[in-house]
Amino acid sequence: MNDWRIEELKRLEKERDRNLAIHCEYVAAKFQRMIDRIKKEMEIENGKEN
């Protein structure tokens, strides 16, 4: 169930790193917020399962 989220995290992290490399801090921050939101959702889901 979280497989697509894990793949999405990997994609977003690559895009964030790419933007940091070309000095687009604002765009990289947008991707970091998306990463944080998905990680938080996964933590909440994991807490419900346990």
Q: What is the pTM of this model?
A: 0.83
Task: Say if residue 2's pLDDT is above 60.
Answer: yes
Alpha carbon distance 1, 42 (integer Å): 10
pLDDT of residue 49 exceeding 70: no
CA distance 25 to 7: 23
pLDDT 10s digits, 19-32: 999 999 999 999 99
Is 90 exceeded by the pLDDT of residue 36? yes
- In three state form, how does the secondary structure of 23-45 look? CCHHHHHHHHHHHHHHHHHHHHH
